[in-house]
Amino acid sequence: MKKKGLVIFGNGNHCKIIKQEIQKQNNLKILAIYNYYAGKISLLKEFKNKVNLNSFSKFNAITAIGDNKKRQSLVKIVETKFKKCKWITLISKDSILAKNVKVGIGTVIVSGAVINTNSSIGDHCIINTSSSIDHDAKIGNFSTVAPKAALAGNVKIGNNVFIGMNSSIKEKMSINNNVIVGAMSFVNKDCMKNCTYFGIPARKIKKNKS
């Protein structure tokens, strides 16, 4: 089987996870990796003499930035600089997804994640190691579900939301845009936009920048 070339944008710790998941795929190979720092991208030295992305009719790409807002900024930069970029969706072979789950472009679903029936995940999200998303959950764009976080059925998550490690979200809760839920929290009430919540049960502890 001929492998598809893939460009990774971002070379921090999350890139290690991306590489790990690519190695499990039998249809992908890494063409190049770009570093991202202070709002700028730069091709890593080992690829500089091999890759000219502007010569491609199109190329596949994925981001490797854990921070939601930085990831969103990076996507805008790449789409401006490389008009021929095509974002792919990377789903680990060691994850479990119901057949009718919808997953947006640029999203990464990591080993051990479970997503149940009739759920949908937006664009450029991270569904991290051993997280659990139950039936009919809806997650917006540029959001992250951290390792071992659990979302019950019919939970609604907005854009630019971070659900911390080992947190639990009660069924039918709504978590609005730009919310952070701290690690090991239990959310049993809806969360207002642009706020950070923490605790058991989770309480609003501060306002976030919009």
Indicate left, alpha or beta for 93 from its phi (over 0: left) and psi (-120 to 50: alpha).
Answer: alpha
The three-class DSSP label of residue 40 is: strand
Amino acid at site 185: S
135 is catalytic: yes
What gap in Å lies between CA 185 and CA 162, rounded to an integer? 12
Residues 6+ apart with CB under 8 A from 100: 117, 118
Catalytic position from the list 70, 135, 156, 193 = 135
- Per DSSP, what are the bridge partners of residue 20? none
Indicate left, alpha or beta for 108 from its phi (over 0: left) and psi (-120 to 50: alpha).
Answer: beta
Instruction: List phi, psi (to 5°) of 195.
Output: -135, 155
Count how many Cα atoms sit within 13 Å of the Cα of residue 37 in the half-sphere of its side chain.
Answer: 7
The three-class DSSP label of residue 85 is: strand
Residues marked as catalytic: 135
